[in-house]
Amino acid sequence: MGSLYLDHNATTPVEPRVVAAMMPWFERAGNAASLHELGRRGREAVETARDQVAALLGAAPPEIVFTASGTEANNAVVQTVADTHSDGHLVISAFEHPSILAAAARLEERGFAVSRVAPEPSGRVMPEAVAAQLRRDTRLVCLMLANNEIGSVQPVAEVAALAQARGARVLCDAVQAVGKIPFTVGELGVDYLTIGAHKFYGPLGAAALWIGRGVEFSPLLVGGSHERHRRAGTLNVPAIVGFGAAAALVDEELAAWSDHMLEVRDRFEAGLASIGETRVHAAAVPRLPNTSNVAFLGVDAEALMVRLDLRGFAVSTGSACSSGVVEMSETMKALGVDENEAVASLRISFGKDSTGAGVEALLTALREEVAALRELGAEGASV
C-alpha cells in the first residue's frame, strides 16, 4: 500500500524513527515554559530540536521560530510589512503558495501595491523579470524555492541579491524543497525562510520561520514570551521534537533520498511513452527530483485521479473542470498553460520509499485508465 502513496508534495508519512523520538513527549507532562523539572526537560527537548533544524538550514538556533504551519510563518512575514510600514510595495511570484498570495492580496486591500511576476512557461521565474518590478519603496520580495505543483526550482539566490540591492527584504518559502534538494540560508542569501516538518517525514503541526539576524519581525500571535516574543503560544513539544528528528534525518540522508527519488521519477517518466500524448511540466528547468506533473492530453485529470484512487493510488490534480468551467490552479494560470492541458494535468510526487514496482503498477493503471477515458471522450465527441 505504501508504494501506492504518490502524493508526497501534499504530505509525507511520518518516519518510524521520528515517531519513536516523539512518543515519550506525548506521555510526559511539562510545559516547556514552566520552571520545574518537567518543564525544563521539555524546554531542553525543544532546544535540541531547534539546534537540529538550524543545522539543517545552516543557520544559528536563535534565528529559528517554531510555528504551527508554513502558512502561519508565511502570513507572519507578509503581515510584518504592514506592521512596520504604512505603505509600500511587494513583489511576489504569481505561483507562490496561497498563504502568500492571499496575505499579499490582503495588504493590497489596505493600500499596499503588489506586483505579481509570472514565471516563464518553462516553470522558472526570471530574475530580470523580478528586477524589472523592483521599486524604491519595495518592502518585500517573495519567491518560493521550489513550486509545489510542478516542482520547478527557482533562482532564489539571484533574486535575493537583486532585491536586497534595492533595499527590499526577501522571503523564501522553502517548504517543498526540504528533503528533496540541498540548500542553506547562507547560499540563498534571503531574509526570511519557511519550512514545514510534514513535507519531509516529520509530523503535522510543526513548522519554522527562519529570520535573518537584525531583520525586523512583528509577531502574528502575541500573549506570551515564547520563542523570544516572536510567537506566543504553548510549544507543541512532541511535534517540535519530531520536527527536529526529521531535520536530522534529512541532514544525514538527503543525498541518498534524492538519488533514489530521481531514479524512480526518471523510470516513471520514461514509461510515459507507452501511454502516449503526454507532456511533463517544467521538464526543461531544474526540478525537484520527486515531482512529475504530467498532462495526459484529452483526459480529465480529475476523473483520472478518482479512477486511480479507486485502485489504491494517491495522486493529485491542480486544476479541475467543474460545470464545464475550468477551475485552474494559480500555478497553471501563472504558467499560461492552456485550459485543456491544465485540466489534463496530474501531479505525481514520489517519496524516499517509493519503489520501481510501485512505478510499474502506476504505469499499468495509468495506461488502462487513460485509454478508458480517451475512449469515453471519443464517444462523447461523436454523439
Rounded distance, CA 141 to CA 160, Å? Answer: 8
Strands, E, within 138-267: which ranges? Answer: 138-142, 169-173, 192-196, 207-211
**Nearest distance from C-beta of residue 107 to another protein, angstroms:** 24
Kindly give, in sequence order, each residue whose CB lies less than 8 Å from that of residue 341, ignoring residues fewer than 6 positions away: 279, 295, 297
How many other CB atoms sit within 10 Å of the CB of residue 254?
18
Nearest to 143 by CA among 177, 112, 166: 177
Residue bearing cell 485502485 = 311
**Nearest distance from C-beta of residue 324 to another protein, angstroms:** 7
Judged by beta carbon, residue 363 or residue 372, the one nearer another protein is 372
Amino acid making up residue 158 = E
Nearest to 124 by CA among 98, 161, 150: 150
Rounded distance, CA 293 to CA 97, Å? Answer: 17
Judged by beta carbon, residue 343 or residue 348, the one nearer another protein is 343
How many other CB atoms sit within 10 Å of the CB of residue 252?
9
Which helix (H) or strand (E) segment is 46 a member of?
A: helix 37-57
Footprint on this chain of another protein (rule: CB under 8 A): 300, 303, 306-307, 309-310, 320, 322-325, 327, 372-373, 376, 380
**Nearest distance from C-beta of residue 383 to another protein, angstroms:** 10
Rounded distance, CA 49 to CA 210, Å? Answer: 14
Judged by beta carbon, residue 193 or residue 303, the one nearer another protein is 303
Q: Compute the C-alpha angle 262/95/57, nearest 5°.
A: 55
Judged by beta carbon, residue 98 or residue 336, the one nearer another protein is 98
Which helix (H) or strand (E) segment is 292 a member of?
A: strand 291-296
**Nearest distance from C-beta of residue 331 to another protein, angstroms:** 19
**Nearest distance from C-beta of residue 340 to another protein, angstroms:** 15
The catalytic residue positions are 321
Nearest to 221 by CA among 40, 66, 50, 59: 66
Which helix (H) or strand (E) segment is 185 a member of?
A: helix 185-188
**Nearest distance from C-beta of residue 47 to another protein, angstroms:** 40
Tell me the pairing of strands 113-117 and 64-67: unpaired
Rounded distance, CA 72 to CA 208, Å? Answer: 9
**Nearest distance from C-beta of residue 378 to another protein, angstroms:** 13
Judged by beta carbon, residue 86 or residue 322, the one nearer another protein is 322
Judged by beta carbon, residue 225 or residue 322, the one nearer another protein is 322
Judged by beta carbon, residue 75 or residue 317, the one nearer another protein is 317
